[in-house]
A and B are shown apart, each in its own frame.
Chain A
Amino acid sequence: MAALKIKKGSTSHSAYNLRPNFSDEVETHTLAVLVDNEPGVLARVIGLFAGRGYNIESLTVAEVDHTGHLSRITIVTTGTPQVIEQIKAQLGRIVSVHDVHDLTVEGASVERELALFKVAGTGEKRVEALRLADIFRANAVDSTLESFVFELTGTPGKIDAFADLMRPLGLIEVARTGVAALSRGPE
């Protein structure tokens, strides 16, 4: 199923590729939404998800083009294929939205998330935490005699795995940025 791209000023756009081939299976998709960085734009996007009952698994937003005042919102969402198509079409209707990309279906993509973990403990547990951090290539960005703050970048799965390992070793707090994603290749 081709993604519904709603490009401004495009002449070739049509829903001709939107042949319904809908299953009832819930899928996870990563959407990249390019928006005008203006007041309220995030509220428009989030309000759409809340108002129409769509899921947000993760959401990341920051200005990516300072001269053009464009922000990139990366949303990880779940739904049946029909719901995912609706989400993309509904996002495309928002006047402040320039482009909607479904990174899950538009070829390969890379996804990364940054997380900070506060792990407190002494003795064997503290050593084990440090050893695991090394295996995961997490950096200690703060340390006291009873605690570490680790910084870890990776896929959401890797971050989940690290959190699971840290939990018995004194995990106190986690801060995650949510997913940032880009398609692979030159395009």
Chain B
Amino acid sequence: MTRQMTGAKMVVQALKDQGVDTVFGYPGGAVLPIYDEIFQQNDIRHILVRHEQGAVHAAEGYARSTGKVGVALVTSGPGATNAVTGLTDALLDSIPILVLTGQVPTFMIGSDAFQEADTVGITRPCTKHNWLAKDTDTLAETLHQAFHVAQTGRPGPVLVDIPKDVQFANGTYTAPEKSDTTIYAPETKGDITAINELVEAMEKAERPVFYTGGGVINSGPKASKLLRELVEATGIPITSTLMGLGAYPASGENWLGMLGMHGLYEANMAMHDCDLMINIGARFDDRITGLISAFSPNSIKAHIDIDPSSINKVIPADIPIVGDVESVLTDILKVWKARGRTVNRDAIANWQSQISEWRKVECLKYTQEGKVIKPQYALERLEALTKEHDRYITTEVGQHQMWAAQYLGFEDPNRWMTSGGLGTMGYGTPASIGVQVAHPDSLVINVAGEASWLMNMQEMGTAVQFRLPVKQFILNNERLGMVRQWQELLHGERYSHSWSEALPDFVKLAEAFGAKGIICSDPDDLDEAIMEMINYDGPVIFDCLVEKHENCFPMIPSGKPHNEMLLGEASTQGVIQAAGAVMV
């Protein structure tokens, strides 16, 4: 079916045809025709953010928690440049989002017109693909292709830049099914010879480990199901990157916890000592590998990834498999079952008892004493009091993010939305809004640090306006905690600009926004305060005053291998207090 309509109407029609129910956006001169169309319909809900960066992170939160494409709509010039951080964030974490930007009319492009920016030029390196829609007749097809590219293969952000005259002009609408999507068709089925070889290696392995990542989440819920089946059937222990948490349940008996720079001792030791590493949808990020030359020196490495460029990029793969996780896991299970469901049971039992020894180190142990809340304790209580809820967690970036990954347990995929690759401070608040829009009746908590949280705090206005009961759980140490930790460990305790002075009164700030503010500084009051936060029907800013100089352990110092972790304890405490006096 083809129909005549304006470019602006096409945008709304294409979004509807693609099943979009929500758009996060901010109007401006170059997108007014689209906003006029949005005004005249009720199928697509528009969430007005307070800053374009917020729109993109909210779209990411929506996408990460639903698996659908998140959509943001912003104006030209500053609207587009403000979207750049969110696009880069989505690119590094492979999140499918579509950003629509207005552009000055085609006849003014290149004239340094008001609010003109070379949007496709600026966003070329931070999108999976982008388009400048120069013609209303091809606009609809471009939009459908954009959705296709965003969610096909390795997902990622796409951008369509739409000049204002293209929005006003009439053209022929092309339906999704009539659009040519053969422009992009990456291979998703893994090579069966390689899969056979992997199964053979699994049968023989004495110390195998699964190392899984965000690719499992991106592949969809079925991939997580297949992963669980494979892990349970083989008894092979499993660890995950920050991005992959929830694909295998934290309560599962083969769960080692997160690996990497702030990963668990047992997970990193298992990675270092294994004889078969099965990487499923992870990319050997530098936060994972530590010192590359000493990374898991004696293992065969299998690498399953949908993106051929991930293979051999950092760590050479002995058994490389290019394919979608769901498809490859289906084949692995099929082959493994057909070959008689063999694993080296005795050796794996020994391997598991070795892992139990490592667990005894209790790398996450800490002591809650005195009248100051330890951040770990705050998260342990948050976990205890919310784990039975239908819960989604977003985070900002820093120590609190790592503690959240360590102390919160994720039972299902798409429940943990964090900025992994880019490490974007200011991501969490808008992301929590995007998640809450997608899951209006769920408990959505943004675990934050006060410094990160301030970066996009204006989005509290969005939460209040749209009655989104997001809970902003701020671990307030009045420090840029992770920066401070590195300065302590690497820069001779010279704490250059890593503390927050002139912080707002978060309770008053909440009230100023029309939200609820809660402050808690006493460990004895913590449970009650958290319950008050959960039970309040509306957005909450929770100011949790925590120990100011707590370091995040375990930690693999940069440039060290997995088996040289710092386990922390209180050995550095005295030094910090002496130096801390200078700061206050």
Interface residues of A (CB under 8 A from B): 4, 6, 8-11, 13-16, 18-20, 22, 36, 39-40, 43-44, 47, 51, 82, 85-86, 89-90, 92-96
B309 touches A92 (CB 8 A): yes
A16 touches B321 (CB 8 A): yes
Residues of A within 8 A of B193 (CB): 16
B317 touches A14 (CB 8 A): no
Residues of A within 8 A of B190 (CB): 14
B128 beta carbon closer than 8 Å to chain A: yes
Interface residues of B (CB under 8 A from A): 120-121, 124-125, 128-129, 132, 149, 154, 182-187, 189-191, 193-194, 307-309, 311-313, 316-318, 320-323
**Inter-chain pairs besides A16-B193, A20-B318, 13 sampled, C-beta below 8 Å:** A6-B308, A8-B184, A11-B187, A14-B323, A15-B191, A15-B308, A16-B194, A18-B308, A19-B320, A86-B312, A89-B308, A89-B309, A89-B311
Query: How close is B196's CB to chain A, nearest CB, in angstroms?
Result: 11
B128 touches A95 (CB 8 A): yes
> B120 touches which one: A36, A40, A95 (CB < 8 A)?
A40
A145 to B311, CA, bound (A): 60
Residue of B whose beta carbon sits closest to that of A22: B316
A92 to B189, CA, bound (A): 17
> A14 touches which one: B121, B132, B191, B316 (CB < 8 A)?
B191
Residue of A whose beta carbon sits closest to that of B156: A93
A47 to B126, CA, bound (A): 11
Query: How close is A79's CB to chain B, nearest CB, in angstroms?
Result: 13
A95 to B183, CA, bound (A): 7
A14 touches B120 (CB 8 A): no
Chain B interface, >50% SS class = loop
A14 touches B321 (CB 8 A): yes
Query: How close is A89's CB to chain B, nearest CB, in angstroms?
Result: 4
Query: How close is B143's CB to chain A, nearest CB, in angstroms?
Result: 15
> A20 touches which one: B187, B316, B322 (CB < 8 A)?
B316
A90 to B432, CA, bound (A): 33
Query: How close is A110's CB to chain B, nearest CB, in angstroms?
Result: 28
> A85 touches which one: B121, B312, B322, B323 (CB < 8 A)?
B312
Known: A14-B194, A20-B317, A43-B124. A93 touches B309 (CB 8 A): yes
> B129 touches which one: A8, A9, A95 (CB < 8 A)?
A95
> B322 touches which one: A15, A22, A39, A82 (CB < 8 A)?
A15
Residue of A whose beta carbon sits closest to that of B311: A15
Residues of A within 8 A of B322 (CB): 13-15
Query: How close is B296's CB to chain A, nearest CB, in angstroms?
Result: 14
A20 touches B312 (CB 8 A): yes
A51 touches B125 (CB 8 A): yes
Residues of B within 8 A of A8 (CB): 182, 184-185
B189 touches A11 (CB 8 A): yes
A6 to B187, CA, bound (A): 9
Query: How close is A175's CB to chain B, nearest CB, in angstroms?
Result: 28
Residues of B within 8 A of A22 (CB): 312, 316
Known: A6-B308, A14-B194, A16-B193. A86 touches B125 (CB 8 A): no
Query: How close is A178's CB to chain B, nearest CB, in angstroms?
Result: 23
A18 to B185, CA, bound (A): 21
> B125 touches which one: A13, A47, A92 (CB < 8 A)?
A47
Residues of A within 8 A of B321 (CB): 14-16
A40 to B313, CA, bound (A): 26
Residue of B whose beta carbon sits closest to that of A39: B132
Q: Can you report 7 residue pairs joining A to B where beta carbons are below 8 Å apart? A: A14-B187, A18-B312, A20-B312, A20-B316, A89-B307, A90-B309, A95-B149
